[in-house]
């Protein structure tokens, strides 16, 4: 693509729009060269990069604040505890949870979903019950429910989607019956980018008295999420896709549901008292945080939240939307390229196939141009089956990506097509 | 690792026009090979006559590396004894995993050394090895093999 097009897009940007060069200066890793070419990191749906504000926060914690939390009376332990709980306050505000105790630290989205499956599903579902998931789910929001269904003799029901990758809401409404006990749906599809109308879908479920878990791993990093406005019962997301560290994630849950749930893991910190006759569990959220948690990662996630707020989620979303529009336009003009997932309401994910070229070959050749994309089934094999393909290549954008990087991607694809011509 | 090293003309040609494509109706041995991480999926069928590979064919879906490796495997193995074919399976696997120095150590790989470059691309090693892994399974009368789990050929080679 020519630079005139990107200049045109930038020229019409409103005042107060995101300054991508200033943003990029915050991310040391973006200065890397891969195979002698500047890194174009377009694999943000898998994991995002970390700004120096978060890196510095981790260093500060490790060099001057670390001790175990909720344990000792000494100064460092008090400091670490205060920072760990302080991060929880920031995260509560970020997603607008009503109370801090509704914010549970986990290892990531997968462990958040599993916590609900173990703590809620195993306690409250029984033979003949039904769990609804969608065609667009990541394996981590399918497999736990399959395991539950197998154990309980319950049934998994699937919301179908159309050829654009949009869920069929009329079909969804018809799946509900007296056996429906739980709904687990993605806010944004990781494989296609579809933004599902979860607020309406939650309202539908609630009309049937059914609680809903939303997998928000691909939503929270990119758009303003308000769990009270959505009225979701559970909401799961990961730190490492939103400029934070790996190994930390969040499960938001309505307090009355979390209180009803059984703890998933037993151990230290999740108890009030232990004797061989009886153990009394701690209050939420600590009931679900057995053992020493990833303290540094939690504090790092708090710093990531502050960073994203300082940039502004609305500006991030607007910038990503411009990148997606620009890339989609370029791909539409590429002969032999097919965009998989063309929902009207779409996040900045561009999944595609090239006629006659396997996605893995695309990924290997783009890597030589310094372009990092994901290739494969994206842990969403039912999505691939729906579209009759084994795999796609996927470019996914974030706040630090540029129009010039989209140009490099498109040039790389032309080179792939030339090699396989 | 540059693509002009790995995606050489011979590999692109075998990808575009795979040799010995299909299934043998009179196969004495056959196996299905799966690479679940990237979706490569092939079937290898062969006819042994007096411990010699009289005929061999393959079909399936996969990336260029997997298809070209399959195609070149069939042309290289046809006419060889089972012992010679098994030796090629070992040498190819060792080359792809970097254990065999094709410049230094004596080997029987010939043109198959165009795949040597995959050793620098860990995520692509299994694409190249899959057909050989499947051939080995067919010769041992196993019906399905995978590149993952306890059948992982790379883990077995290390």
Does A3 score more than 70 pLDDT? no
Among residues of chain B, what percentage have pLDDT more than 90? 73
pLDDT class for B103, splitting at 50, 70, 90?
A: confident
A280/chain B closest Cα distance in angstroms: 41
The more confidently predicted of residues A390 and A81 is: A81
Yes or no, beta carbons of B63 and A360 under 8 Å apart = yes
Q: How many residues does chain A have?
A: 421
Q: Cβ(B63)–Cβ(B4) under 8 Å?
A: no
The more confidently predicted of residues A35 and B151 is: A35
pLDDT at A417: 96
The more confidently predicted of residues B82 and B35 is: B82
Residue range A361-382: mean pLDDT, rounded: 94
DSSP string, A34-64: ETTEE-EE-BTTT-----HHHHHHHHHHHHH
Which CA distances in Å does A246 have to A40, A91, A170, A203, A400?
Answer: 21, 16, 38, 33, 19
pLDDT class for A7, splitting at 50, 70, 90?
A: very low
Yes or no, beta carbons of B39 and A357 under 8 Å apart = no
- Whether B117 has its CB under 8 Å from any CB of chain A: the answer is no
pLDDT at A271: 86
The pairing of strands A130-134 and A40-41 is unpaired
pLDDT at B157: 56
pLDDT at A8: 47
pLDDT at A297: 98
- Residue from A43, A361, A380, A384 whose CB has the most chain B CBs within 10 Å, to mutate: A361
Residue B119 DSSP symbol? G
B49/chain A closest Cα distance in angstroms: 36
Among A143-157, A397-411, B130-144, the least confident range: B130-144
- Whether A414 has its CB under 8 Å from any CB of chain B: the answer is no
Residue pLDDT, tens place only, B115-139: 999 998 888 999 999 999 999 999 9
Does A421 score more than 90 pLDDT? no
The more confidently predicted of residues A32 and B103 is: A32
Residue range A170-183: mean pLDDT, rounded: 98
B37/chain A closest Cα distance in angstroms: 7
ipTM: 0.87
Yes or no, beta carbons of A420 and B121 under 8 Å apart = no
pLDDT at B104: 87
pLDDT at B143: 84
User: Rounded to 5 degrees, what are φ and ψ at B125?
Assistant: -55, -45
The pairing of strands B40-49 and B52-61 is antiparallel
A183: closest CA among A106, A113, A259, A110? A113
Residue pLDDT, tens place only, B33-64: 998 877 789 999 999 999 999 999 999 999 99
- Annotation marks residue A379 as catalytic: yes
pLDDT class for A13, splitting at 50, 70, 90?
A: low
Among A2-11, A126-135, A292-301, the least confident range: A2-11
Residue pLDDT, tens place only, A315-328: 999 999 999 999 99
The Cα B11–Cα B68 span in angstroms is: 5
Residue range A122-137: mean pLDDT, rounded: 98
């Amino acid at each position: 693509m020519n630079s005139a097009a990107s200049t045109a897009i930038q020229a019409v940007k409103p005042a107060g729009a995101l300054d991508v060069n200033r943003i990029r200066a915050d991310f040391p890793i973006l200065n890397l060269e891969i195979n002698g070419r500047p890194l174009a990191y377009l694999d943000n749906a898998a994991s995002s990069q970390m700004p120096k504000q978060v890196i510095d926060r981790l260093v500060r914690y490790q060099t001057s604040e670390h001790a175990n939390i909720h344990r000792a009376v000494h100064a460092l332990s008090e400091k670490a505890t205060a920072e760990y709980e302080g991060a929880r306050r920031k995260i509560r505000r970020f997603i607008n949870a009503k109370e801090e105790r509704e914010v549970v630290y986990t290892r990531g989205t997968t462990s958040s979903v599993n916590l609900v499956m173990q703590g809620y599903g195993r306690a409250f579902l029984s033979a003949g019950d039904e769990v609804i998931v969608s065609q667009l789910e990541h394996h981590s929001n399918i497999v736990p429910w399959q395991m539950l269904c197998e154990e309980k003799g319950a049934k998994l029901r699937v919301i179908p989607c159309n050829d654009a990758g949009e869920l069929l809401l009329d079909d969804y409404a018809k799946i509900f019956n007296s056996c429906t006990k739980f709904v687990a749906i993605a806010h944004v599809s990781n494989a296609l980018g579809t933004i599902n109308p979860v607020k309406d879908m939650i309202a539908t479920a609630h009309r049937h008295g059914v609680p809903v878990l939303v997998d928000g791993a691909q939503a929270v990093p990119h758009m303003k999420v308000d769990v009270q406005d959505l009225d979701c019962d559970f909401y799961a997301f990961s730190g490492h896709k939103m400029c934070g560290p790996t190994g930390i994630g969040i499960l938001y849950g309505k307090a009355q549901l979390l209180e009803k749930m059984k703890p998933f893991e037993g151990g230290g910190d999740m108890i009030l008292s232990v004797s061989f006759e009886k153990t009394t569990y701690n209050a939420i959220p600590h009931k679900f945080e057995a053992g020493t948690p990833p303290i540094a990662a939690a504090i790092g996630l708090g710093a990531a939240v502050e960073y994203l707020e300082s940039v502004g989620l609305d500006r991030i979303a607007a910038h990503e939307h411009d990148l997606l529009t620009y890339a989609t336009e370029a791909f539409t003009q590429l002969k032999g390229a097919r965009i998989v997932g063309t929902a009207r309401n779409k996040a900045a994910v561009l999944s595609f196939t090239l006629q006659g070229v396997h996605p893995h070959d695309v990924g290997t050749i783009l890597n030589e141009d310094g372009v990092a994309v994901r290739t494969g089934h994206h842990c969403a094999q039912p999505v691939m089956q729906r579209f009759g393909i084994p795999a796609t290549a996927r470019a996914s954008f974030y706040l630090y990506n540029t129009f010039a990087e989209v140009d490099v991607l498109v040039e790389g694809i032309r080179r792939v097509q030339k090699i396989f011509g | 690792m540059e693509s002009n090293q790995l995606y050489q003309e011979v590999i692109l040609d075998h990808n575009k026009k795979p040799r010995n494509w299909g299934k043998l109706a009179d196969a004495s041995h056959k196996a299905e090979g799966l690479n679940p991480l990237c979706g490569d999926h092939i079937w290898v069928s062969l006819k042994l006559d007096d411990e010699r590979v009289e005929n061999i064919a393959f079909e399936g879906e996969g990336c260029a590396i997997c298809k070209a490796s399959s195609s070149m495997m069939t042309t290289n193995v046809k006419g060889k004894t089972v012992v010679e074919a098994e030796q090629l399976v070992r040498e190819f696997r060792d080359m792809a995993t970097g254990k065999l120095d094709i410049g230094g150590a004596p080997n029987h790989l010939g043109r198959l050394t165009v795949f040597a470059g995959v050793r620098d691309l860990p995520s692509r090693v299994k694409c190249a090895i899959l057909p050989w892994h499947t051939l080995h399974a067919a010769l041992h009368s196993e019906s399905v093999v995978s590149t993952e789990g306890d059948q992982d050929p790379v883990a077995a080679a290390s």
